Amino acid sequence: MARDLRDLSLCAINTATLGFQAPVEQVIEAVARAGYGGIAPWRREVEGRDVKAIGRRLRDARLKVLGYCRSTYIPASDRAGFLANVEANRRAIDDAALLGADSFVMVVGGLPAGSKDIAAARAQVADATGLLLDHGKGRGVKIALEPLHPVYAADRSCLSLLSEALDICDAIEGVTASPWLGACIDVYHVWWDPNVKRDIARAGAANRIFGFHVCDWLVPTEDVLNDRGMMGDGVIGVRDLRAAVEAAGYAGLIEVEIFSAKNWWKRPMNETLKACAGRFATAT
């Protein structure tokens, strides 16, 4: 049965939704005060700061830390570049552990400069995922592959389909009751996929759903990167996808992640937090 999202303890805020208007300490306080159960912070808010202190603040605020966003892009033109990217991600996973994050979110990157070989880029992603899974296990941080909408295949994520992410998981980790490797499912990226419900069921059966992100696809979309909509304002069957994810066994928090340069990022944090709460209840 679908959960009642008027209970904000089931809901989390990806800090990007608030437009990075304030230091993370203030964001943490605002999200906690608004009653949310969780948060997903970004490296840009954390790196170069006292990460342990931010972790303490998150625990004091009693916010569950879901995914830590996000990986340095993996594919590189040569082996040295690839290894440097992997190493940067190991350091980010160390920070994810200090923050108490459940998972490290991998947005894997597109084609290296000058390449026309997307299959080769994907092979690098699979290799890196294996290396980072080992590191994540050692730190107690899960690895969450996030397939991105195919519009980003060239420059942000050569991993497009949920089925691709699951294939990588199966190839690396095999069948296990308590996987460390899984996927984030973001409605923005997967809503159009005719196989998405099949793949959600597959992911759930393998306990590989590590996150469920909501927003909406506006018509028209003026900018495919930073013109996402609030749940209910677009064409995605958000409730239908949430039902599929919950039917597949997902019992974790539901996270709102809205990149919206022209609308939500221009509003005060508390206004956006209030709107999210409303739309969790009515349109998610």
What is the binding site for a copy of itself (CB under 8 A)? Answer: 110-111, 115-118, 122, 149-151, 153-155, 158, 160-161, 164, 191-194, 217, 219-221, 224, 234-238, 240
**Shortest CB 106 distance to a copy of itself, Å:** 17
The answer for residues whose C-beta is within 8 angstroms of residue 92's C-beta and 6 or more apart is 43, 47, 68, 71, 72, 104
* Number of other residues whose CB lies within 10 A of the CB of residue 23: 11
Output phi, psi for 234, to 5 deg.
-130, -150
CA-atom Rg of the chain in angstroms = 18
Measured from the CB of residue 154, what is the shortest distance to a copy of itself in angstroms? 5
Taking the least distance from each CB to a copy of itself, the nearer of 147 and 204 is 147
The strand pairing partners of 67, in sequence order, are 103
Nearest distance in Å: CB 102, a copy of itself: 27
Strands, E, within 103-228: which ranges?
103-106, 142-145, 181-186, 209-214
Instruction: Give the nearer residue to a copy of itself in terms of CB position, either 135 or 149.
Output: 149
Residue 194 CB, nearest distance to a copy of itself (Å)? Answer: 5
Partnered with residue 229 across adjacent β-strands are 216
72, 63, 65, 67: which is closest to 32 by C-alpha?
A: 63
**Least distance (Å) from a copy of itself to the CB of residue 5?**
17
DSSP-assigned letters across all residues of 45-97:
HHTTS-HHHHHHHHHHTT-EE-EEE-PPP---SSHHHHHHHHHHHHHHHHHHH
Which CB, 219 or 251, lies closer to a copy of itself?
A: 219
Choose between 48 and 194: whose C-beta lies nearer to a copy of itself: 194
Output the smallest distance, CB 192 to a copy of itself, in A: 4
User: Phi-psi region for residue 249, left (φ > 0), alpha (ψ -120 to 50) or beta?
Assistant: left
Q: Which of 46/125 has CB closer to a copy of itself?
A: 125
For a copy of itself, the closer CB: 122 or 142: 122
Give counts: helices (H), strands (E), the chain. 10, 9
**C-beta neighbour count of 251 within 10 angstroms:** 9
Closer CB to a copy of itself, 13 or 200, in the complex: 200
* Shortest Å distance, C-beta 199 to a copy of itself: 13
